Amino acid sequence: MSFLGRAAPSCRTGDGQVNKPELLAPAGNLEKLKMALVYGADAVYLGGKSFGLRAFGGNFSEAEMEEGVRFAHARAKKVYVTLNIFPHNADLEKLPAHLAFLNEIHVDGLLVSDLGVFSLVRELAPRLPLHISTQANNTNWAAVNAWQKLGAERVVLARELSRAEIAEIRARSTIELEMFVHGAMCISYSGRCLLSSYLTGRDANRGACAQACRWRYGLVEESRPGEIFPVEEDERGTYIMNSKDLCLLPFLPELCAMGLDSLKIEGRMKSVHYTASVTKVYREAIDAACDRQQAFHLRDAWIDELQKVSHRIYTSGFFDHVPDGSDQIYASASYEQTADFIGLVRHYDDETHTATVEQRNNMKIGQEVEVFQPARETFRQRLKDMRSEAGEPLSVAAHAQQIVRLFMEKPVEEYAILRRRREEG
């Protein structure tokens, strides 16, 4: 059984008071930003076309970023922008203009890793709150407090921390603390490396590096024995490690009781379906974990929901154990999911009970679909009446992002997702 089946610990304080942290969701593009906020995020984090660590994540033009900030602020939500690369000299040339733009559109904070970028933001855009990225490898209370003295408002904790270490950092600091609770995990970044610890037991982050990153590596394909292929690399790194995905859903009461200020979902490169589904699960779970009137328990619906989106097998990472080989996936780099996203509701007409839907995958008459919504309950129905924008009957929506009108057995919300069970084979 997956660790998701474990009973969650009860971590309420004696008077029943628990901290309700911010739920921070990824926004790889403008559509994902809107979905994250509609499905319950308190804030989103996103990147522009430069200065972030997700070069292939879609990212935002200046016009899109400005629209995203307006959309968020109209709903009393926040937008944080990533500036967390470790820049070379040439990377800094465009930074002043970018900071002026971010200051002008009133983003709510910047995520940085590099001390030089931190200093330039403090000098050029002192109004903007600074959050220290997990890439800065914040693994102890002294580092956290040092960033606060320099003027940071929040520190994102490293993923390599146990519950005891997190609790001690919280006890010995007053700055806002943020941590990842869900999503993909990579094995290393530059000198912030776990390879030595994993392969030899010598922890590079504590000064005992075995220089494992300098050993000769290659790829061997099983049908070509003896033929070694070089590992290909771009200017930002190499992609050969395959960790399981992080999921700390069972530990939310404990995390809330620790006094963390923000719980973060990874996934700017994931789909709209992932953004909506994972955000809604954590919204409901955080609300339940902070409800003083009832005991927290893992709902089967939450666990089921996290299986529907594209993911790797889940692990609790460093939080409750020292990761070992069981936290890696050796046989395959593929993802799992039990449902396919097939349509997004753009409008619903109460009089005709008709939803205007943008097709995202195979959709045809007779299919049983599940309707997953921001606030209303999920329900199932078969597609019985599908029409084109002109009102012509359709048996199948054959074109990518085709607009169709569907008769719905129950009212649906804008931004509702239509999906079907993933077909076998």
Neighbours of 129 (CB within 10 A): 16
Q: How far apart are CA 34 and CA 36, in angstroms?
A: 6
Question: What are the helix (H) ranges across 269-398?
Answer: 272-289, 300-308
Amino acid sitting at position 30: L
Q: Nearest to residue 305, comparing CAs of 263, 335, 268, 339?
A: 339
**Rg for the chain (alpha carbons), in Å?**
23
Q: 112: number of CA atoms within 13 Å, CB side? A: 21
Q: How far apart are CA 83 and CA 80, in angstroms?
A: 10
How much is the pLDDT for 209? 60
Q: How far apart are CA 26 and CA 100, in angstroms?
A: 23
DSSP state of 213: G
Write down the domain spans for the chain.
3-186+241-327, 192-196+203-238, 339-421
Q: How far apart are CA 216 and CA 228, in angstroms?
A: 11
Q: How far apart are CA 412 and CA 373, in angstroms?
A: 7
Residue whose entry in the numeric block shows the structure tokens 């910047």: 110
- CATH class of the domain defined by 3-186+241-327: alpha beta
Q: How far apart are CA 105 and CA 109, in angstroms?
A: 11
Answer for the pair 250, 4: CB distance below 8 angstroms, yes or no: yes
pTM exceeds 0.75 for this model: yes
DSSP state of 60: B
CATH topology of domain 339-421: Elongation Factor Tu (Ef-tu); domain 3 (2.40.30)
Tens-binned pLDDT, residue by residue, of the chain (425 aa): 356 655 444 444 444 556 799 999 999 999 999 999 999 999 999 998 777 555 545 689 999 999 999 999 999 999 999 998 888 898 899 999 999 999 999 999 999 989 999 999 999 999 999 999 988 989 999 999 999 999 999 999 998 899 999 999 999 999 999 999 999 876 653 345 666 676 787 765 444 567 565 555 566 777 887 776 665 554 444 445 567 889 999 999 999 999 999 999 998 889 999 999 999 999 999 999 998 778 899 999 999 999 999 998 899 988 998 877 777 665 555 678 999 999 999 999 999 999 999 999 989 999 999 999 999 999 999 999 999 999 999 999 989 999 999 999 999 999 999 999 987 32
How much is the pLDDT for 272? 95
263: β partners: 23, 179
How much is the pLDDT for 422? 86
